[in-house]
Amino acid sequence: MAAGEKFDMKEYIEKRMMELEDPGERRLFKKMTGEILFDLYEYNRKAYESLEKRILEEYSPRQNQYTVYSTIIERSRCDITDSFLQPMCPGDMKKEPIQCQDVCQALSENRPMVVDTVFFKGSASEIYELLSQEERRFQGTVRTDTGEYPADFTLRRNKKYLQTAEELYPVFALNGRTWLTVCTAYLTKMLDVCLWKAEGMEKEGEILEIRADFEEYGEQILPDMIPLWNLSELTEKTSTYPIPCIDQIHYEHRIFAQRLRTDCEYLIQNMDMEVTGIRRLNGDLYITCPKEQPCVWKLYQASVPEGRERYTYPVLSNQYKETFSGSITGMFQRSIKTRAELGRLIEAFEYGDYVTFQDVRVENSIPPECIPCNYNMDGFIADEFRTGSRRQVLVIEFAGRAFGSFLTEDIMSFLVTQIQRIFPDYHCVGRLAPK
């Protein structure tokens, strides 16, 4: 048989059978070999093909099924029945009242009291300029049922939402998924309003209103806004008794498809568990770990859009185009050596309406104009090998298509963060070409 030629078991048995001249021996051979051996061969062949298909399905990149989408919305317009985007922090749906006693206690200890979280509808450069003014105080009032008191306020970046996004990094590692930067454009624009002083305010009473004058930033600061994303948390218990694996060390836990949505993928959050395998088969979720007893699994449900959703602000994501030649994970696993390859990486993400790649060059220092409009969305990752500061600067030139959009610089920062992962020996920054 020639190399690479497919072996035909049935044809091989017939040839061997025809070599027997005695009819009785031929009938016996046909019955014993032709039926039993052929059936055994077919069983093994189908089992091997099933195993091969399973391995290929688990190996194939399915990263887009774990896309993280996000947007921002007014609290009053948030639809809790939305099957796609939900509040990033469920507690945001109800605004907790602030007690006078808590405010007075904080002020007596000379520490700021966070009285509100607002959304700054401005560019990355404007936020950089605002937060650089560390001593900037804004005047306002605190009105209670006992009177109105003059107050001083400051603004600082809210970290709650950013930390929630950062916690996805070890979750992706636990699930054996390649990390793709979460686009935190909206999250970096969430600011805490901190009360520093409220002259004469009494401990007793109820706060009726807190009002601050943010002066030139007044029109850009929007209260009662909450971030949404497509990840919702849920818990499920192992549906049946775990099945021992071949090694007699690990067990396969199964969660029935009836408990899960067929159009969603799931990420395991049990960081205290040694998970060695996760797969989805016919809607059921299989989790391999050393625990032999049924247990409760904490899951992230990654919902996908149906196409009928409508939101006030654009929905951003870390999804790359399905038509991209080769997966984005493949781009991260090999070096990029030409401008054309770098352009392909940038064009892989659906942000061509905001910026387009123009050129790239190497400089010895960061151009001053690039500092306010750039930030690394993966800056929290601290387990990289290359941590030296003596690096040349890779400046990526972009043409901004949406110069009026407050998201343009953030989209550029997201794309530059992708490039930074491929060029760790450079400090990568983006620059918007003049309009």
Give 311-336 pLDDT, tens digit per residue: 999 999 998 875 444 455 555 545 67
pLDDT of 228 higher than 80: yes
263 and 211 assigned to the same domain? no
The mean pLDDT value for 233-257 works out to 91
Q: What is the pLDDT of residue 166?
A: 95
Q: How many structural domains compose the chain?
A: 3
Q: What is the pLDDT of residue 368?
A: 94
218 and 110 assigned to the same domain? yes
Lowest mean pLDDT among 25-39, 52-66, 169-183, 241-255: 52-66
The mean pLDDT value for 183-198 works out to 95
223 and 130 assigned to the same domain? yes
24 lies in some domain: no
Q: What is the pLDDT of residue 60?
A: 47
143 and 224 assigned to the same domain? yes
The mean pLDDT value for 331-350 works out to 77
253 and 357 assigned to the same domain? no
pLDDT tens, residue by residue, 69-82: 999 999 999 998 89
pLDDT tens, residue by residue, 363-374: 999 999 999 999
More confident residue, 121 or 422: 121
The mean pLDDT value for 50-77 works out to 74
Q: How far apart are CA 67 and CA 115, in angstroms?
A: 33
Residue type, 75: R
Q: What is the CA radius of gyration of the chain?
A: 30
Lowest mean pLDDT among 8-17, 141-150, 182-191, 303-312: 8-17
Residue type, 298: K
428 lies in some domain: yes
Question: In 245-358, which residue ranges form alpha helices assigned H by DSSP?
Answer: 328-332, 339-347
Predicted structure pTM score: 0.82
pLDDT of 62 higher than 60: no
The mean pLDDT value for 188-205 works out to 90
Q: How confident is the model at residue 39 (pLDDT cuts 50, 70, 90)?
A: confident
DSSP 174-191: HTT--------TTGGGEE
265 and 205 assigned to the same domain? no
How buried is residue 180: exposed, middle or buried, by Cβ count under 10 Å (0-12/13-18/19+)?
buried
Q: How confident is the model at residue 356 (pLDDT cuts 50, 70, 90)?
A: very high
277 and 159 assigned to the same domain? no
Q: How far is CA 30 from CA 39, 41, 170, 184, in A?
A: 12, 15, 59, 69
Q: How confident is the model at residue 57 (pLDDT cuts 50, 70, 90)?
A: low
pLDDT of 26 higher than 60: yes
Whether the Cβ atoms of residue 99 and residue 207 lie closer than 8 Å to each other: yes
329 and 414 assigned to the same domain? yes
- Structural tokens at position 420: 């930074």
Q: What is the pLDDT of residue 343?
A: 87
324 and 241 assigned to the same domain? no
15 lies in some domain: no
**Dihedral sign of CA atoms 309, 378, 405, 224 in order:** positive
The mean pLDDT value for 264-273 works out to 92
403 and 428 assigned to the same domain? yes
Closest CA to 263 of 67, 427, 10: 67
Q: What is the pLDDT of residue 398?
A: 94
The mean pLDDT value for 178-182 works out to 90
CB within 8 A of 385, min separation 6: which ones? none
The mean pLDDT value for 125-141 works out to 92
Q: What is the H or E stretch that residue 59 is in?
A: helix 38-59
Give the residue from 208, 228, 248 where a domain finishes: 228
135 and 101 assigned to the same domain? yes
77 lies in some domain: no
Q: Which long-range contacts (CB under 8 A, 24 or more apart) does 249-252 make?
A: 249/290, 250/276, 250/277, 250/288, 250/289, 250/290, 251/288, 251/289, 251/290, 251/291, 251/292, 252/277, 252/286, 252/287, 252/288
Question: What is the span of the domain harbouring residue 333?
Answer: 320-432
364 lies in some domain: yes
Closest CA to 68 of 215, 165, 182: 182
Q: What is the pLDDT of residue 1?
A: 47
Maximum alpha-carbon separation in the chain: 115
Percent over 70 (pLDDT), the chain: 86
Whether the Cβ atoms of residue 298 and residue 259 lie closer than 8 Å to each other: no
Percent over 90 (pLDDT), the chain: 52
20 lies in some domain: no
Mean pLDDT over the full length of the chain: 86
Q: How confident is the model at residue 259 (pLDDT cuts 50, 70, 90)?
A: very high
294 and 334 assigned to the same domain? no
